[in-house]
Structure 1
């Protein structure tokens, strides 16, 4: 695992990423993935993981892009309440038997959503499952080991809430 950058921001102020930030982050993840062997399929976690998953798939020239819907936050607001990860329509993953899969999400707070989705994918028979996120919010990380031991590719780390360019640009 490699981390390309760290954002040291005021923990009370959200970090607003730009489309250029997203381009840099997806390129970093694509380069890291290729260095370990190009995946055969990319799976994006709906909603936030779909945009980076598609960008990464284009950069890797992978046409097999799939979705899985796993939600944990109860709303879209800053510091929204969390619940147990819930999956909808797991059949959307299809048959992954024998494939090398890259699972992508926009952000990991606790890592629970990513871990839940990875377990679902592993149940569909791939030969390998790797995980990637654009950012990890260390302030929310609650797992015993650091994010780099649980997530294969991390583009950046921060200690605050992250607002992505595809989200509304105002606080709720």
Structure 2
């Protein structure tokens, strides 16, 4: 199990932001709720992007370590994104496991009319990856790649309780 601290998260966000700047700052950032909210906010501050939106996409039945997956990613209220017609959009999440939740979020953003869609995640868990192509060909920017469960600083207290219960 990989535990990230705030310094790790800040460093990854800074590296990702630097790479994004070389490719063009997006007009809008869409955070995959819940985990993507923190890295999305960090990136918007570093990039100077003020248009931040949220999209709830989940692919696990709960927040416990190695939680079971739902058959398909579950999307709630995609209309909350509003119109993205002609915009350059960055979709952000904290971690990608199978890749299906992020792929669903990207598809929804494309369907909302975005002209350009790129993605960024702090961590890819290669142990769970099921995509047809490697993560680096699917996710535009990756902070780090691991093989196993990741605990972020904003969820450390919840995961500590889960570890004690197991």
TM-score bucket of the superposed structures, by smaller chain:
over 0.9
RMSD of aligned Cα (Å): 0.8
Within a 5 Å distance, the mapping from 1:124-135 to structure 2 comes to 124-135=112-123
Partner of 1:99: 87
User: Which protein, 1 or 2, shows the higher relative CO under an 8 Å CA cutoff with sep ≥ 6?
Assistant: 1
Partner of 1:139: 127
Q: Which runs of 4+ in 1 moved over 2 A?
A: none
Q: TM-score, normalised by structure 2?
A: 0.94
Q: 2:33 aligns with which of 40, 46, 53?
A: 46
Q: 1:148 aligns with which of 136, 139, 155?
A: 136
Partner of 1:148: helix, strand, or coil? helix
Q: CA deviation at 1:144?
A: 2.2
Aligned residues: 159
Contact kept in structure 1, 2:124 and 2:135, CA below 8 Å: yes
5+ long unaligned stretches in structure 1: 1-13
5+ long unaligned stretches in structure 2: none
Q: CA deviation at 1:169?
A: 4.2
Higher helix share: 2
Listed one character per residue, the Cα deviations across residues 85-124 of structure 1 (whole Å, up to 9, x for unaligned) are 0111111111101110000000001100000000000001
Q: TM-score, normalised by structure 1?
A: 0.90
